[in-house]
Structure 1
Amino acid sequence: MLDTVSHAAQDADHEQPWAELGLKSDEYARIREILGRRPTSSELAMYSVMWSEHCSYKSSKVHLKQFGEIPQETPVGKMLAGIGENAGVIDIGQGYAVTFKIESHNHPSYVEPYQGAATGVGGIVRDILAMGARPVAVMDPLRFGPLDADDTHRVLPGIVAGVGGYGNCLGLPNIGGEAVFDESYVGNPLVNALCVGVLRHEDLHLAKAAGTGNRVILYGARTGGDGIGGVSVLASETFDEGGPAKRPSVQVGDPFMEKLLIECTLELFAAGVVTGIQDLGGAGLSCATSELASAGDGGMHVDLDLVPLRDSTLAPEEILMSESQERMMAVVEPADVARFLEICAKWDVEATDIGEVTDTGRLQIDWHGEQVVDVPPRSVAHDGPTYHRPFERPESQDALQADRAEDLPRPSGGDELRATLLRLLASPNLCDKSWITDQYDRYVRGNTVLAQPSDSGMVRVDEETNLGVAVATDCNGRFARLDPYAGAQLALVESYRNVATGGARPLAVSDCLNFGSPEDPAVMWQFAEACRGLKDACVELGIPVTGGNVSLYNQTGTTAILPTPVVAVLGVIEDVTRRTPTGFREAGHEIVLLGETRAELSGSEWAHVVHGHLGGLPPQVDLRAEKVLATLLTDAGRAGQLSSAHDLSDGGLAQALAESVLQAGIGAHVELEGDAFVALFSESAARAVVTVAPDALQQLLTMAEALGVPATRIGTTGGDALVVEGQLGITVEELRDAWTATLPEALGH
């Protein structure tokens, strides 16, 4: 028998599977209080997915709200849209705006690697599209267990193929990301996806259903049985030790349908026939209907019988929960419906008028002529539970921080330093990632200016003026484990620095906060400290958080992942033809080290690879030093002084020199003062290595001195080897052999 609203009002004691749907007893009681009765099964389905951790941020929003305290100005102008919208939108000048956002698809990618990763890309692309922008590039920060782990060999090839397969079919260049390996990600890989879109200011669209009598049109793919409960449920639970068990919950993507949907939607925008729009991602129709109604005039009526289905046996609850991909919902004035449908037909995109905007203040949904949903839409979309989860610094943190990597045995003499450099260069986290990135099209559309292995990805926005944007994503989970406040800031400043090394001015932040179970006070302490660290750093640097994502319950059994607050920074460059490349480009240029090097080895790749050690305090954060370094890098780049620039981070100066040498096969001869080991392998922040022509050296040093940036000439480019005077010499060929062999040998050619 159909569970209607009238039936629910009369049958108050009917038992319902609220616990199986992920709701707590007090949450179920609250739903009954809101409605003044028990929910129908359809209403229960809606609340369960919309009140999930993934959709409602119920454990995290008390900490996320501090991001609203950050000034919403950028060095170019005000944000046009920020936290709470599908994606943040930033003014970049010349009448252009850029929208970008990063989100997670972690649990679905563990269950079904290819489709989980592919639909993660598809979902973030639709978020960008829904703002009125043309998607122009994607990125993929990834985390896996150890390279030799069986689970890594199960998930990594599928995840990489899914990211590449979907993005390549859409014709979107993949311009950067990361692939990091650590024991804590066994059984819980992280698949974070970022998309960048471009729009003119006047093209901005928001997710709201306004205008009583306006029509609600569902268009795109048909609704199927895939993804029922999908990411909204999977992202709110911890996996058991036994392995994946929720294959039916993972969405199935069709990138060719999405490509049609993109072009169709952009033409709909251009035709001026859309008054409000929302993509259907997590929670599907439950999300789109409740969020549009809540953000608009407050009322909507939908006839669920009109929803086009791939499976005619679906119950109304399943239709509302399905996370089938490649679907959008638009609010359209009645006079524009015919034109809207005409454009959809042109692109072979199915479109169906399924309801209207009302002035009732209620979201009302019918099925087979009976009302199955009658709820205040805000109670579903925005007024979910808020948890003040207990959080506490674990007692073990003191002992962890006291166990310093600086006290570990170090290599002595040139031979040991040489062996250490080659070992680190070949380690999974520092080796060449071409096995992964060669599966991605990095240059489709013809506007890619920088892509991996550059420090940041960069795309041209305007082909006449050469206006462009750069984006980088970063996070060292070991640093965040040692000190989550400083670790989150170090993730931010590394992305900030990477954008600046290419010559772009950092403008804004999007984050993807990946943590373990919020029910663990130690994990919540990590999360709270990371949020506090990000907020404080953004205030100091003067860049806003435009939006992002929280992914909790990333653990297997009781083992949580390293806290992994991935931070994306977007910057603007007025002329991409004046960008600064990452690697050495010419022989005979002067090599200059910018920034101060300290004996900071805790959490470093050296400690991780050579000693399997994690302990101590991460590198010191100096936000003023980061700010003036970025100013020097962008000003010198704009002036055409720099022939290359590479930030110093994982692996320290040794890794940066090796990667710079390998870019074009141009060697280097350097001389280092003091402790050669510290100079080569320390991971002190706020540093970069740059090259300049000999006649530009003094001008750079003068600029650095004026800004207060330590600058030291350490050598010259040229030759066929990396030589550290008095310590080691390694040919370019030896460096390349060590750097390139690791992933092909582990994963197959």
Structure 2
Amino acid sequence: MTPSAQPNHRTALDTVKHATDTPGTEQPWAELGLKQDEYERIREILGRRPTGAELAMYSVMWSEHCSYKSSKVHLKQFGEKAPESDALLVGIGENAGVVDIGQDYAVTFKVESHNHPSYVEPYQGAATGIGGIVRDILAMGARPVAVMDPLRFGAADHPDTRRVLPGVVSGIGGYGNCLGLPNIGGEVVFDDCYQGNPLVNALCVGVMKHEDIHLAQASGTGNKVILYGARTGGDGIGGVSVLASETFEAEGPAKRPAVQVGDPFQEKLLIECTLEIFKERLVAGIQDLGGAGLSCATSELASAGSGGMRVELDTVPLRDSSLSPEEILMSESQERMCAVVEPDKVGRFLEICEKWDVIATVIGEVTPGERLEIYWHGEQIVDVPPRTVAHEGPVYRRPYERPPWQDQLQADDAAALPRPGTGEELRAAALALVSSPNQAAKSWITDQYDRYVLGDTVLAQPEDGGMIRVDDSTGLGVAVATDGNGRYAKLDPYRGAQLALAESYRNVAATGARPLAVTDCLNFGSPEDPSAMWQFAEACRGLADACRTLGTPVTGGNVSLYNQTGDAAIHPTPVVGVLGVIDDVNRRTPIAFAEQGQLLYLLGETREELGGSAWSQVAHGHLGGLPPAVDLERERLLAEILIAASRDGMIDAAHDLSDGGLIQALAESCLKGGNGARVVVPDELSPFVFLFSESQGRALVAVPRSEEVRFNDMCGARGLPAARIGVVDGEEIEVQGQFSVSLRELREAHEGTLPALFG
């Protein structure tokens, strides 16, 4: 919020009566991010001008971040095209989606963005991103069990990246580690397009029993509304709701409201307190306080309920007694929840809060009417239909068109680039690739996270997907992966979104888990730019079509727009998270080549597909052509093979092929297992295409010799190409007839890059 938009504490209280009596009073609607037609619509809804408190509520709730006003016309495809799913228990529209994983267990998961706050204040922006997504999961009735962090930064050697990245990583690690939640995976990508506009996405997974699911609604006349958790302060006033709804100007953000400040120890108390409250069945509805704070919690609870709500705002516990009503409503102070509780259960609710040293205050009650009414020291300052605040905001059909430069970009085919031909040139290209910032080991980052706290992590980064044990007695577990290649999406946003889903789906299957459902974080440029809006529309269409084909419904997620600085937008970056279930985590498949003598099989077909590839970026700084082709039926078949082979003990290791192609997967699996490999280039492929192509629908697997016949028979019977290309052997990677590189040299190249840049 700009200084001119700050409420004036010295003015008389702007009550509903005063607003009715003074229709001509000028109001700072533009400074609060509203358009003139939006302000006029608010006046039409209310039949008068809004009070200052009402204007504050509408401004944050109608922001792009909270209302999805530019994106909802495209997001509806995720519902319209949703595949039938017996596993889906709660879908789009709640704090997070919920899926059935069997044995009466349910899992909830969601990914959200905290992009702009993390650029303004890296540590707190990233930390409160973790805190916010954890509370979303908690509000569904689940115990949070793991987090993930898909990250995008500018050029790795840029001075501002050295400012932003360490703070973001410290914030994620500091908050997540204090909560005692393992960070089981994610991504780190560097690209010039994210310079000045990093992407900090955060995912959380929670576990519950079916009967523990809770929804955000205020029903039952006379039920009490209880605010509990941290006191409300001046940090984060307007916060993400305003900051994430405007483009950064080239000289800096036009709006820099205070970024929220997190307290993970308070959040840990809030989690345990809330879970005990759930266990005793004390709440009729619950909502966390994140973006838009009390404005969001009160309006959404009332809107989704069967009645109205009356709130006494002056009863809200404050850290700063000078806060005005408008500031209290807009504050995005962290570690707060809002619950609806039957009167006879309020006493026990408050007892549990006191036990956990959590402040809890009855601030209102559910009313028989249909209005959200808020009072300040007995004076009414809000009287609105809650749905108009929470769910009936503006809907824009933004103009969009294919950008004029798209044809030229796609015509600039990477196949025309000079490529290595000799064995020495291939060796140099391989080392350059695996040591490049995007393909290098991310252990400098992930070692700052606790990946194994709680004792249920069975797979974590750098594995293809993170995996958590859900039930100790049976071994039931879930795997999660997130992926999104902005370079592919820049070349073709429809196909790029499908490739993001395909890779995440493939990563989950490579661990041995069966993919069930999707969450997404759609990071794009300004919706007021027709080119960026076309990218968004195409990505939504592509993702919805692919989800329908693969049978994985979108359960919820987040849209982050205005990710650009001046006229320079980020690459369209749809980040897709896939959750899968595995009956027994003891059957999981790691990426490591752990035993010499294992046979290496390449599954799928390799073609000359280099558009948007890691090789083209590392060797030539090039982006052009078309991304790899998508064959979703092949992805489904590959997943079935990987899952069956894992379950039946036919493979010892599996690694999907994606960024960097075969040589990247080979290097990672050899280094993880501490064993080398000898591979032979198939006759039909050139050594370069064999090593660096990024054809999709492929995986590299290690097969025990005793299982080779059975594995080949299965692949043959199901029609999946499977070629034996080598064996796990020695202490080097040898591409026969071309080159060899020792694991020692490979490890130095792969693991030394990030410490040299940031350590």
- After TM superposition, give the deviation of residue 34 of structure 1 in Å: 0.3
Specify the alignment match of 1:60 in structure 2: 71
Specify the alignment match of 1:222 in structure 2: 231
CA distance in 1, matches of 2:91, 2:204: 15
Specify the alignment match of 1:586 in structure 2: 595
Scaled by the length of structure 1, what TM-score is found? 0.99
Specify the alignment match of 2:7 in structure 1: none
Contact residue 82 and residue 554 of structure 2 kept, 8 A:
no
SS of residue in 1 equivalent to 2:300? helix
- After TM superposition, give the deviation of residue 585 of structure 1 in Å: 1.0
Indicate which of 272, 278, 284 corresponds to 1:263.
272
SS of residue in 2 equivalent to 1:355? strand
1:116 aligned onto 2:125? yes
Specify the alignment match of 2:441 in structure 1: 432
CA distance in 2, matches of 1:542, 1:459: 23
- After TM superposition, give the deviation of residue 49 of structure 1 in Å: 0.2
AA aligned to 1:532 is: R
- After TM superposition, give the deviation of residue 368 of structure 1 in Å: 1.8
Stretches of structure 2 lacking an aligned partner (at least 5 in a row): 1-11
AA aligned to 2:32 is: L
CA distance in 1, matches of 2:51, 2:573: 39
SS of residue in 1 equivalent to 2:338? strand
CA distance in 2, matches of 1:659, 1:368: 63
- After TM superposition, give the deviation of residue 396 of structure 1 in Å: 1.0
AA aligned to 1:2 is: L
1:27/1:245 CA distance change after superposition, 3 Å: closer
Specify the alignment match of 1:661 in structure 2: 670
Specify the alignment match of 1:643 in structure 2: 652
Indicate which of 265, 289, 296 corresponds to 1:287.
296
Specify the alignment match of 1:28 in structure 2: 39
Q: What are the within-5 Å matches in structure 2 for residues 561-600 of structure 1? A: 561-600=570-609
Q: What are the within-5 Å matches in structure 2 for residues 346-385 of structure 1? A: 346-385=355-394
Q: What are the within-5 Å matches in structure 2 for residues 165-204 of structure 1? A: 165-204=174-213
Specify the alignment match of 1:325 in structure 2: 334
- After TM superposition, give the deviation of residue 359 of structure 1 in Å: 1.3
1:134 aligned onto 2:143? yes
Specify the alignment match of 1:236 in structure 2: 245
Contact residue 301 and residue 363 of structure 1 kept, 8 A:
yes
Specify the alignment match of 1:684 in structure 2: 695
Specify the alignment match of 2:742 in structure 1: 731
CA distance in 2, matches of 1:573, 1:708: 24
AA aligned to 1:383 is: E
CA distance in 2, matches of 1:250, 1:45: 17
AA aligned to 1:52 is: S
- After TM superposition, give the deviation of residue 244 of structure 1 in Å: 5.3
1:444 aligned onto 2:442? no
4+ residue stretches of structure 1 with deviation over 4 A? Answer: 244-248
- After TM superposition, give the deviation of residue 664 of structure 1 in Å: 1.9
1:336 aligned onto 2:334? no
Specify the alignment match of 1:711 in structure 2: 722
1:46 aligned onto 2:57? yes
Moved more, 376-385 or 236-245: 236-245
CA distance in 2, matches of 1:393, 1:241: 25
Indicate which of 616, 619, 624 corresponds to 1:607.
616
- After TM superposition, give the deviation of residue 144 of structure 1 in Å: 0.2
Stretches of structure 1 lacking an aligned partner (at least 5 in a row): none
AA aligned to 2:90 is: A
AA aligned to 1:496 is: Y
CA distance in 1, matches of 2:342, 2:151: 42
Task: Write out per-residue CA displacement over residues 159-183 of structure 1, whole angstroms, 9 at most, x where no aligned residue.
Answer: 0000000000000000000000000
Contact residue 111 and residue 245 of structure 1 kept, 8 A:
no
1:619 aligned onto 2:628? yes
CA distance in 1, matches of 2:277, 2:297: 18
SS of residue in 2 equivalent to 1:37? coil
SS of residue in 1 equivalent to 2:600? strand
AA aligned to 2:577 is: A
1:671 aligned onto 2:680? yes
Specify the alignment match of 1:698 in structure 2: 709
CA distance in 1, matches of 2:49, 2:152: 42
Contact residue 233 and residue 328 of structure 2 kept, 8 A:
yes
SS of residue in 2 equivalent to 1:642? coil
Specify the alignment match of 2:569 in structure 1: 560
- After TM superposition, give the deviation of residue 72 of structure 1 in Å: 5.4
Indicate which of 508, 529, 533 corresponds to 2:517.
508
Contact residue 667 and residue 718 of structure 1 kept, 8 A:
yes
SS of residue in 2 equivalent to 1:249? coil
Task: Write out per-residue CA displacement over residues 546-605 of structure 1, whole angstroms, 9 at most, x where no aligned residue.
Answer: 000000000011100000000000000000001001110110010000000000001000
CA distance in 2, matches of 1:225, 1:247: 14
CA distance in 1, matches of 2:673, 2:699: 19
Contact residue 124 and residue 194 of structure 1 kept, 8 A:
yes
Specify the alignment match of 1:386 in structure 2: 395
Task: Write out per-residue CA displacement over residues 630-653 of structure 1, whole angstroms, 9 at most, x where no aligned residue.
Answer: 000001100011100000000000
Contact residue 112 and residue 247 of structure 1 kept, 8 A:
no
- After TM superposition, give the deviation of residue 705 of structure 1 in Å: 1.3
CA distance in 2, matches of 1:321, 1:437: 35
AA aligned to 1:530 is: A
1:8 aligned onto 2:19? yes
Moved more, 697-706 or 453-462: 697-706
CA distance in 2, matches of 1:546, 1:406: 38
Scaled by the length of structure 2, what TM-score is found? 0.98
CA distance in 1, matches of 2:581, 2:674: 29
CA distance in 2, matches of 1:163, 1:56: 26
1:263/1:578 CA distance change after superposition, 3 Å: same
- After TM superposition, give the deviation of residue 249 of structure 1 in Å: 2.0
Contact residue 231 and residue 249 of structure 1 kept, 8 A:
no
Specify the alignment match of 1:631 in structure 2: 640
- After TM superposition, give the deviation of residue 298 of structure 1 in Å: 3.2
CA distance in 1, matches of 2:395, 2:484: 28
CA distance in 2, matches of 1:737, 1:542: 42
- After TM superposition, give the deviation of residue 243 of structure 1 in Å: 3.0
- After TM superposition, give the deviation of residue 73 of structure 1 in Å: 3.7
1:156 aligned onto 2:201? no
Contact residue 111 and residue 246 of structure 1 kept, 8 A:
no
Q: What are the within-5 Å matches in structure 2 for residues 408-487 of structure 1? A: 408-487=417-496
- After TM superposition, give the deviation of residue 242 of structure 1 in Å: 2.0
Contact residue 297 and residue 358 of structure 1 kept, 8 A:
no
Task: Write out per-residue CA displacement over residues 177-210 of structure 1, whole angstroms, 9 at most, x where no aligned residue.
Answer: 0000000000000000000000000000000000
Contact residue 72 and residue 79 of structure 1 kept, 8 A:
no
Indicate which of 508, 514, 538 corresponds to 2:547.
538
SS of residue in 1 equivalent to 2:181? coil
Contact residue 84 and residue 547 of structure 1 kept, 8 A:
yes
CA distance in 1, matches of 2:89, 2:464: 27
- After TM superposition, give the deviation of residue 310 of structure 1 in Å: 0.2
AA aligned to 2:423 is: G
Task: Write out per-residue CA displacement over residues 323-354 of structure 1, whole angstroms, 9 at most, x where no aligned residue.
Answer: 00000000000000000000000000000000
Task: Write out per-residue CA displacement over residues 285-318 of structure 1, whole angstroms, 9 at most, x where no aligned residue.
Answer: 0000000000001300000010000000000000
Count of residues in Structure 1 that have an aligned counterpart in Structure 2: 746
CA distance in 2, matches of 1:93, 1:72: 19
1:526 aligned onto 2:535? yes
| RMSD of equivalent CA atoms | 0.8
- After TM superposition, give the deviation of residue 71 of structure 1 in Å: 3.8
CA distance in 2, matches of 1:244, 1:450: 39
Task: Write out per-residue CA displacement over residues 28-62 of structure 1, whole angstroms, 9 at most, x where no aligned residue.
Answer: 00000000000000000000000000000000000
AA aligned to 1:50 is: M
